Structure 1
């Protein structure tokens, strides 16, 4: 298969540069969840701690729910104006809103205006992230189509490191400042750090070259005027497959990678500092599994891999949570289990959606399926899991949620997946076929 970037070393350098930006942007987005207990006290005070946390996670879900809008908007720009310009814009938006979140007044200072401002910042965060990760997936997949699984695996390895970075910063600040200072103003520091890292990522993005496959669209003038309409008319099957795969990915990664620190500290009463440190170490150690999972998609039948993951989620999540709530448990082992689930799911499933769509609507297709899957099944995961804990009266709520979504994800295996070639010659062939 022809290469858009001829030298393999350049492909790896490009993947590392893109992944660095993705890591920093995910840190910005997920630091909200890691600071959830402090935000609950400062922006959503309530007499019941669980109720306060529920409202905080509802605001977390708002950020996820705005991602589809961002995906549609930036997907359109990406398919019309280019991949590079679009996901360079998203990182600057993300950096600004994250820094602003660290400067917001609290409920005790300005009353109801505080949570309103926080929700607006979360909306803009989710909006920008809706274009960021799909843009990175599309850009890497098109820049190295013969090794797209490995390249996208590098991206999600970096995202795992982003989760580890967030928890490391949280643990370091807890140890350096102490609980009282963290509750007073220390919770703001991770947001300021995220804003600065986002600006650094923007400087990295500005130096990228455009995707070779998108440049081929320029040569044959095959850009879609309204990519979303073409996607809905001609590529509904690919969209459904991508949505189901990302539902499985979103629920697994969010519950095991984002929700667990708050679950362990609030629901199980474990020390925040210990949970933060063990989470950081576990996700850092297990991040290479994202790369290995992505590499597997280049070598092994994708449907077989998706089936294995779905069955593992369905049948292993409940025993895992039974261990979590048992008396004979250890934080390090719990976070290693969580990190393994999150690493494999994040590295395995996103590379599968890149070939579901042709080049002229690929950014929009990836952004729509990715963001709707994460918004509907990932964004609501912390809220739904906490609600199930309250409703059932058992701490097994997150396990029931993830297993249920795993069953939904199995539907994708019974659909014939589209498989569009990723080479510049195919774009020219399509135009010749249409004219004839």
Structure 2
């Protein structure tokens, strides 16, 4: 990319940059909340799923982790309908408020020793509501940001996903501070609650900021000519199913890679390879801070290069590196800093590169619904089940490379759509104009 092209790609009004960074605060909570849950998994297992077998207890915790993902598609359909019918701004302001409240409440739950079976039941319910709100949060932010800066959607969504990587870093940083200053018994008693309270406060701040935004210009124009769909989901299924399938397969590899390499990795390293949890937390925090700018570069690439070529590059990279990478983790003398840096780089690569592709698969009248449905279903099936699937593969085959096996299988699945034509709805053209990619 020449210097002139780079300047062209980054030529965005200053107010759009400020808007992107403000919205990204809520996006940061997307992975912060889920990373915090994974980082606190051992404490949550002891408090809510007590068992004589640590692996069984951990499986119960990660099953509850998956529950949070399972409600996301329903949230995507519900909030996608609201967003396409009543506006992007109002809808994704509502999602961040629900997300902030449920995250804070998880930190206030009584444990199994206090109220028995009701403790894990309440945890599951809050995870369901948290996942439900997340179903509309990030897709709403992606839709709103792409429609307020149509010609540079890759760049501004890259800013959003940079904040997600910083959310991973923030979660590991908070965990590192807590384990540094609090002994294990205090962490089990109440220390694990602190990160959830912090997440609730950040969500409340994001809610306050979002209330001051104006509505998306493209949605306002759509509303003025009365082209909103009565039931956007039905319109999506009837006339834009190909876009949905393409989006679903794109997010499959993204969700699997980010969850396995980011959310699942700390517990994997501590439980199966004996790394100290505080060292993992610090190294992860540093790695994700250093790799976050990669999301911006990948966002720029979205605005310049073929999306199919970029997806193929992602698939080859993840499938080719996974097995030797996990073999290195299991080898003697494996360095934690290198392990975390590779995981962070790969996570940032697919996070910044793949989700921005979704916004051009759907026209304005069903964009929120299309992005939310394909994104959440892909994340749910291939991200939400990744920790459980990886753990089961390790247990069934008695190998530590279970996560690599999972990533290779998902990569092969995502490869299918490289060979079909993609719809391409440029947000700078009139409604209904589409070109195959």
State the partner residue of 1:47. Answer: 52
Work out which of the residue numbers 65, 73, 82 in structure 2 matches 1:77: 82
State the partner residue of 2:305. Answer: 300
Shift, 1:182, TM fit: 0.6
Whether 2:427 is the aligned partner of 1:426: answer no
CA distance in 2, matches of 1:330, 1:222: 57
Work out which of the residue numbers 112, 120, 140 in structure 2 matches 1:107: 112
TM-score for the superposition, normalised by structure 1: 0.95
Whether 2:95 is the aligned partner of 1:96: answer no
Shift, 1:238, TM fit: 0.5
Gaps of 5+ in 1: 1-5, 431-436
Instruction: Tell whether the 8 Å contact from 1:21 to 1:205 is kept in structure 2 after alignment.
Output: no
Shift, 1:294, TM fit: 1.1
Work out which of the residue numbers 140, 161, 164 in structure 1 matches 2:166: 161
State the partner residue of 1:333. Answer: 338
State the partner residue of 2:396. Answer: 391
Instruction: Tell whether the 8 Å contact from 1:237 to 1:418 is kept in structure 2 after alignment.
Output: yes
Instruction: Tell whether the 8 Å contact from 1:282 to 1:335 is kept in structure 2 after alignment.
Output: yes
Shift, 1:421, TM fit: 2.0
CA distance in 2, matches of 1:332, 1:134: 33
Shift, 1:50, TM fit: 0.9
CA distance in 2, matches of 1:282, 1:304: 27
Shift, 1:25, TM fit: 4.2
State the partner residue of 2:16. Answer: 11
SS at match of 2:215: coil
CA distance in 2, matches of 1:179, 1:331: 22
Whether 2:134 is the aligned partner of 1:129: answer yes
State the partner residue of 2:5. Answer: none
State the partner residue of 1:148. Answer: 153
Shift, 1:415, TM fit: 1.3
Instruction: Tell whether the 8 Å contact from 1:161 to 1:283 is kept in structure 2 after alignment.
Output: yes
State the partner residue of 1:209. Answer: 214
Give every structure 1 segment of 4 or more consecutive aligned residues whose post-TM-superposition deviation is greater than 6 Å: none
CA distance in 1, matches of 2:173, 2:128: 25
TM-score for the superposition, normalised by structure 2: 0.95
CA distance in 1, matches of 2:371, 2:279: 37
Deviation sequence 1:307-337 (CA, Å, 0-9, x none)? 0110111111011101111112111110000
The 5-angstrom pairing of residues 180-219 of structure 1 reads 180-219=185-224
Shift, 1:133, TM fit: 0.4
Work out which of the residue numbers 373, 395, 414 in structure 1 matches 2:378: 373
State the partner residue of 2:32. Answer: 27
SS at match of 2:182: helix
State the partner residue of 2:422. Answer: 417
CA distance in 1, matches of 2:129, 2:217: 30
Shift, 1:7, TM fit: 6.4
State the partner residue of 2:259. Answer: 254
State the partner residue of 1:344. Answer: 349
State the partner residue of 1:228. Answer: 233
Shift, 1:24, TM fit: 3.0
Work out which of the residue numbers 385, 408, 424 in structure 2 matches 1:403: 408
CA distance in 2, matches of 1:325, 1:395: 7
CA distance in 2, matches of 1:46, 1:106: 14
CA RMSD of aligned residues (A): 1.2
CA distance in 1, matches of 2:35, 2:281: 13
Shift, 1:249, TM fit: 0.5
CA distance in 2, matches of 1:268, 1:49: 15
Instruction: Tell whether the 8 Å contact from 1:163 to 1:257 is kept in structure 2 after alignment.
Output: yes
Shift, 1:28, TM fit: 2.5
SS at match of 1:210: coil
CA distance in 2, matches of 1:282, 1:69: 33
Corresponding residue pairs, total: 423
State the partner residue of 1:240. Answer: 245
CA distance in 1, matches of 2:331, 2:189: 34
Deviation sequence 1:32-60 (CA, Å, 0-9, x none)? 11111110111011111111111110100
Instruction: Tell whether the 8 Å contact from 1:107 to 1:114 is kept in structure 2 after alignment.
Output: yes
Shift, 1:256, TM fit: 0.5
